Every structure is written in C-alpha cells, then in structure tokens.
Amino acid sequence: MNSCIAPSVLAADLARLSEQVEQVVRGGADWIHVDVMDGHFTPTITFGSPLIRALRRITDLPLDVHLMVEQPERYIEEFAAAGAGIFTLHPEATIHLQRHLAAIRNRGMLAGVAMNPGTPLGLLEEVVDDVDLVLVMTVNPGYGGQGYLPASTDKIRRIRALLDARGSRARLEVDGGITRATIRTAWEAGADTFVAGTAVFGAQDPAQAVRELKTECTSEA
C-alpha cells in the first residue's frame, strides 16, 4: 500500500489557512487531517464543521477528520454534509461502536477507529470488518507538538499483524509526534498513513517538510 501523508491543520497558521494548505498540497500531501476536540474528551477545544466546510472549498484532497469528542456519533451527519471524507472516532468516547461505524460508511465516508495509548487492542478484533482505517495515537490526545511514545511501535506491529491475519485492507494511521526522526520507525512497524502537525507546519517550508517525510516511508529510502 502506498504511504499517505496527512498534515494536521492543528499546527497551521489559521490566519493563512488557504496558503498553508496550498503549500502542503504542493509538497504532495495526500489527505488533510482535522483534529476536532470538545473540551471534554480532551482538555482543549478546537474545530467543528465550519472549518471542514472551509477546507472543502480550499482543496480537493480527502479531509481526514479525527473526532476527539464525547459521543462522536452526534456529528456523523453534520460532518458528512460539510465534506468530511474520513470520519474517525474513539471507542473510549462512545458505546455502540459497531453501529456507528456502519452509519459512517452508510453516509459515504471511510470509517476509522482511533485508539489512545492506554486502550487495549482487543476491541478492534470485534470490529475489524467494519473499519477502513485504524488510527494509533502515538501520544495522548489533546495537543500538538508532543513526543512520540516509544511503546507505540510494538502496538503498531500488533495491529499490522491483526489486520493482515484478518485479510483487512484498512489503513493503519499513526498520529502524534511524527517527525523525520520517528516516521520511519512507525513505517517499518507497519503504519502506512502518517499525521504530522508540527513537523510540517512548524517547518520553514511546509512543502519541503512533506516531501522529506515522504522520502522516509518509501521502500527506496
């Protein structure tokens, strides 16, 4: 599977959003990652559907929406209508996980499950056929700019093994602390989709930063 880079606009200069998105598109970004936080599941509050709608007008790239909110199912319809392409929720924040994954697909979006560092893999086994993407949090959610948790690497390996054993074609995305120094470790462990906030938008040249991350996760590197 081709690797996919998803810059997170959490780290972008929102006063120059369209310019920043244009820069990462020029660098070869595959998706745009949007971190939705509600001040309950995470300490901070970030964005809602108005930002998704704005991004939809700026770019044709898939919008990879990561919901760090309680009861994320409340937003399936609203975010689909706003133009989200991937809707990823946390099982820690909801009860009827399988039902909501089915609803996301029914609404025409890819369905993702995101797992906090402390969340065991077991529940993924129960819904593996219902997911298009598994997002492994490689930091505890809430803020950009944190360091990659080393224990994540083994978790990525175990999820890769589970997906392969079950014949799943779901993407395996990592999110948090992904930089030029950590991306290759995650890729070698089996991740194929990489969220990067600070490493891209904190760089002098975001387009070049995307290109550099890409070179770390190809077989030729």
Binding site for ligand DX5 (CB under 6 A): 8, 10-11, 33, 35, 66, 139, 141-142, 144-146, 175-178, 195-199
**Binding of Zn ion by 66 (CB under 5 A):** yes
For ligand DX5, the nearest residue by Cβ is 197
**In 10 A of CB 94, how many CB atoms?**
18
DSSP string computed for 47-89: --HHHHHHHHHH--SPEEEEEESSSGGGGHHHHHHHT-SEEEE
CA distance 63 to 200: 17
**Both tokens assigned to 67:** 């919901």
| Cβ distance to ligand DX5 smaller for residue 10 or 76 | 10
| Cβ distance to ligand DX5 smaller for residue 190 or 197 | 197
Helices in 63-205 by DSSP H: which ranges? 76-82, 97-106, 122-127, 152-165, 183-189, 198-201
**Binding of Zn ion by 73 (CB under 5 A):** no
3-class secondary-structure state, position 212: helix
| DSSP assigned state of 38 | B
Least CB distance from residue 167 to Zn ion, whole Å? 27
| Cβ distance to Zn ion smaller for residue 35 or 216 | 35
Least CB distance from residue 131 to ligand DX5, whole Å? 18
Cite the active site residues: 35, 175
Asked if 71 and 47 count as a contact pair (C-beta separation under 8 A), the reply is no
β-strand partners of 136: 115, 174
The option from ligand DX5, Zn ion, none interacting with 141 (CB < 5 to 8 A, set by class) reads ligand DX5
| Cβ distance to ligand DX5 smaller for residue 102 or 180 | 180
Residue 42, classified by CB atoms within 10 Å of its CB into exposed (0-12), middle (13-18) or buried (19+), is buried
The option from Zn ion, ligand DX5, none interacting with 196 (CB < 5 to 8 A, set by class) reads ligand DX5
Least CB distance from residue 159 to ligand DX5, whole Å? 17
Among 175, 183, 185, 193, binds Zn ion (CB under 5 A): 175
Least CB distance from residue 37 to Zn ion, whole Å? 9
Give residues in contact with Zn ion (CB under 5 A).
35, 66, 175
